[in-house]
Amino acid sequence: MAKPKGSSGAWLKEHFDDQYVKMAQRDGYRSRACYKLLEIQEKDRLIKPGMCVVDLGSAPGGWSQVAAMLVGHHGRVLASDILEMDSIAGVEFVRGDFTEQEVIDELMAHLGNSKADLVISDMAPNMSGMRDVDQPQSMYLCELALDMAGIVLRPGGSFATKIFQGEGFDEYMRMLRGRFSKVVTRKPAASRPRSREVYLVATGLRA
């Protein structure tokens, strides 16, 4: 996430003093974001052994790392990002913009005749610090993630996405409730209190 000019030094100090950054380094996780998914998992039990999970906007790989650990050897994780991501055991990675047909086709080729049990997305735009710019971009990514979930998820499947509270949030929540049987909002402890980010967890995709 981009920081306003002049604040980068303070942000870096806060970042490296952050307990979750230190925990990630200690526990061998790729990012502090791992603890957000772990807390969601503790509450909602989204990921079970043997599942097929699709991770959108996966780099640097924190959520893929957690998902691979939870699905185990009999499960699979398919990750995609426009950025490169270092390999993770048990994770298949497709680099590219998943809004492009070529990348969608590659993702579908990896899935073969199967469907995903869960789609997860921790995507966020490069923040400018201007809400009128950042919020529409964030909502656009959430809509893209939901569109992809509609393509790859099996009936009854689940979806979890990061979203920023603001314009478009309520409408997006209504869309989710129309497509899934249950939708809850989560604010993990690892999500900085001042941040407008929350996570929407939707289960039971309607056929």
CA distance 156 to 74: 20
Q: Is 36 a catalytic residue?
A: no
pLDDT given at position 4: 44
Catalytic site residue from 5, 36, 162, 182 = 162
Amino acid at residue number 162: K
pLDDT digits (tens, 9 = 90+) for 108-147: 999 999 999 999 999 987 777 787 788 989 999 999 999 9
Three-class DSSP labels, 24-37: HHHHCCCCCHHHHH
pLDDT given at position 39: 96
pLDDT given at position 7: 52
pLDDT given at position 6: 46
pLDDT given at position 20: 79
* Positions of the chain with pLDDT lower than 70, given as ranges: 1-17
pLDDT given at position 150: 95
- 81 labelled binding-site residue: yes
Report the topology of domain 8-205.
Rossmann fold (3.40.50)
pLDDT given at position 139: 95
58: Cβ contacts below 8 Å, ≥ 6 apart: 64, 79, 80, 81, 85, 93
- 44 labelled binding-site residue: no
Contact criterion met (CB below 8 Å) for 45 and 53: no
pLDDT given at position 125: 77
- 96 labelled binding-site residue: no
Q: What is the pTM of this model?
A: 0.88
